[in-house]
A and B are shown apart, each in its own frame.
Chain A
């Protein structure tokens, strides 16, 4: 079956531009996560949705980062006024049930954002 998909796969932005990254989770998955992965590092948690509710946004690095999941399926991560330090791979993951620690998270291929 279809896995988690993300688009675009690659995005180049000029400093100061706004970008929007899309995530299509596995159908029926309740939980959705966004992570940021810098080059040579492990992913870092950004935010968590349970259905349409954003239950945790503690990892968002600044108020330039905004995420939404209005209908409880597709999610968009928006970054306003991009800076060079925003360059990273942005990963989306979904899991079937609510966010208990033992629920496997299924990852998309990521969007590589480069800010010039």
Chain B
């Protein structure tokens, strides 16, 4: 069945470091892909999304490109801040389906 795999955490970086959180998916169709973020004590919120191959989603300095050839949607940010500390979830929706399929989440810790 469809699934999402993302790198295990925690990922610990210093402020202003470059961030990559890997995410790969399996799907029989053409899913939409999402990154959600959960800040401490808050609910999940959408960070960015891409709905078709080669689309790039971006928000708050974060970017991810939908790569069909490698079935990947890696999250990147050029210079992280302490305020980016959170848990990041990669998710997909199978073709024409509303069910979100989630990765296990990656905890990001940014040290000043």
Contacts of B95 in A (CB 8 A): 101
Rounded to whole Å, the gap between the CB of A51 and the closest CB of chain B is 14
Contacts of B104 in A (CB 8 A): 40-42
Contact B99 A107 (CB under 8 A): no
- Give the nearest-CB partner of B99 in chain A: A45
Partner of A3, one of B32, B43, B51, B98: B43
Contacts of A25 in B (CB 8 A): none
Query: Of B11-19, B60-68, B73-81, B86-94, which binds chain A?
Result: B86-94
Rounded to whole Å, the gap between the CB of A15 and the closest CB of chain B is 27
Partner of A107, one of B4, B44, B96: B44
Contacts of A91 in B (CB 8 A): 43-44
Query: With the chains together, A48 CA to B99 CA distance in Å?
Result: 8
Interface size class of A (residues with CB under 8 A): 20 to 34
- Give the nearest-CB partner of A95 in chain B: B98
Chain B binding surface, main DSSP class: loop
Residue B82 lies at the interface, judged by CB distance under 8 Å to chain A? no
How many A-B Cβ pairs are below 8 Å? 64
Residue B97 lies at the interface, judged by CB distance under 8 Å to chain A? yes
Interface residues of A in 37-56 (CB under 8 A from B): 40-45, 48, 56
Contacts of A59 in B (CB 8 A): 99
Residue A17 lies at the interface, judged by CB distance under 8 Å to chain B? no
Contact A42 B89 (CB under 8 A): yes
Contacts of B97 in A (CB 8 A): 101
Contact B49 A102 (CB under 8 A): yes
Contact A42 B103 (CB under 8 A): yes
Partner of A105, one of B51, B96, B100: B100
Please give the residue numbers on chain B whose beta carbons come within 8 Å of chain A beta carbons, in ascending order.
Answer: 4, 31-32, 36, 42-46, 49, 51, 89, 91, 93-105
15 pairs from A and B in contact (CB 8 Å cutoff): A4-B43, A35-B100, A42-B103, A43-B44, A43-B102, A91-B43, A101-B97, A102-B93, A104-B46, A105-B100, A106-B46, A107-B36, A107-B45, A109-B42, A109-B43
